[in-house]
Structure 1
Amino acid sequence: MNAAPVLVGYTAAIGFAAPYLLLRSRWPHRAPALAAAVWHALAVSFAIGAALAAYNLAMPTEHLHAGLVGLLHSCGLHVDTGRPDPDTAHQLAVALPVAIGAALLASFAFHVVRARRARGRHRQAVDLVGRRSARLRATVLPYDTPAAYCLPGRRPRIVVSDAAVRQLTREQLGAVLEHERAHIAGRHHLALAAAEAFHSVFPRLPLARHAREQTALLLEMIADDRALRSHSHDALATAMYEMVASRAPKGAFAAGGHGALIRVQRILGPRRAPHPALWGSVAAAAVVVPLLPLLVACPPGLG
């Protein structure tokens, strides 16, 4: 049996239908870390499914080959009924999934290196212009608009404007700085680079587009939740409101950044954790989904 039709249907469902189902769900904003894992699991599953589908399409079964030859004969075309060269077919079948995997890895490396270079250039400028605050564990820049962002990586920096230091209360400033520390500790720049890489390889795929957008938003929510462990909801929400007009440099995470309005509504609204049964089932699905294409291509018990 050739698994190509099933794999094609599966990747189509994952790439086109699954993201809209996930977007219509209410639980992702209540469990942003789990939701981010699900988006990445769907991307991995799609990539594996596309690679295996390409392999199976390049290596048709005996029945499929005979059917194609019969169809050509019925159309008046006479072709060699011998089987295709197995070596050539095998090389082509292996080359297609390898090309998909290589494109994804190369794209990920490109986004990581490009963002690191941009952060490195900005870090040098920050160290020259700003002053280091041991109390805040951050670099303070002379800037007349409240702003705060972090530069993650090997030599992380948390940057805050002197306007933010002056205008925000101690509680608000502490919440903002904790938000930025969460980005650095969680290595969120790598998760974002993975989503960017997937979108670069599959730019027109709904899953790739929504995974990139939702990953950026969910990472901010994860950092918000980290800040809310030690600071009040009002303090973080008002600080975000004060910094909503600020912008972060490329490769940085800003406390008032992506989806600020949605995040403020989430912080100030009623908070209800997902039911343990829902959390467990979604977590199990995030683990199993990337393996499904392998089970389709190599069903157990079939030789």
Structure 2
Amino acid sequence: MSGYFIGIDGGGTRCRARLTTSDGRMLGQGLSGPANIQLGLDYSWGNIREAIDRALDQAGLEARIFPECRLGLGLAGVVTEADRQRVAAKAAIFHSVKVATDAHTACLGAFGGRDGAIFIGGTGSVGYAWLSGQSHQVGGWGFALGDEGSGATLGRQALRHALMARDGLIQGSALTERVNRFFSSAGIDLHAWLADSRPTNFGTFAPDVVELAKAGDPLATGIIKTAVRWLETYVQRLKALGAPQVCLLGGVAPHYIPYLSDSVMPFIATAQGDALDGALLMCAGASKGQLNPCNDSAVSA
């Protein structure tokens, strides 16, 4: 197989691109803004192209090689077959394109294409298993109805506690003081902030929750423990589906490891690779033709 592979990992916070030769030699990488297609396909595609262009620049190549490139896209927000087809249509200039959820590519990368499961706790959250050529998704319903254990949910809980402390409904802590100071010190109008905020905005408070929980802050610790209970529920469900092990991925989920129970820890594995590795595996043919039609994760074009 000749030509080039381009792997894309597009999440709610950033988009990463990796350009390699077909035999796996890395040529360049690029980084840009969010590529969750629920933020708008044109907006997301613009960030995907920006990340690809930066990888091309690093490699000293130009967009004229696109007809020689196999493109593997792992994107947050891909839910339906129509979503996948819309994304694939944007990539018509490439030699071929495979579109999947970012969970699918992350799972492929974590286990090198073998059976396994993941829990992604980043800006959003989702559980996902790839077992005997079948995909199984648990959760992933978005910020309004799901995202248990995600950075956005941690941040939302921190803000909720901060407002309750401001109103005298609960006893405040270092966490609530820090969150309230974020708004007061910069003169930010909270109502306007809430009106314009996306999950990524709420997620900006997640590092504060993690940090202060380690320091023993009672409210931060409570938020983390609630998230860990949900994480363990996800792990148990993925085990019940047949997953031999589960990798904890994303910027937030690995911070839960010290809080996990002894019954769950033996099932937690270290990832072999990342979502970009999974996207590149798709370029090479991994998971091709193995997706069940009622719960699939990739489309070829």
- Higher-Rg structure is 1
More contact order relative to length (CA 8 Å, sep ≥ 6)? 1
* TM-score, structure 2 normalization: 0.28
* TM-score, structure 1 normalization: 0.28
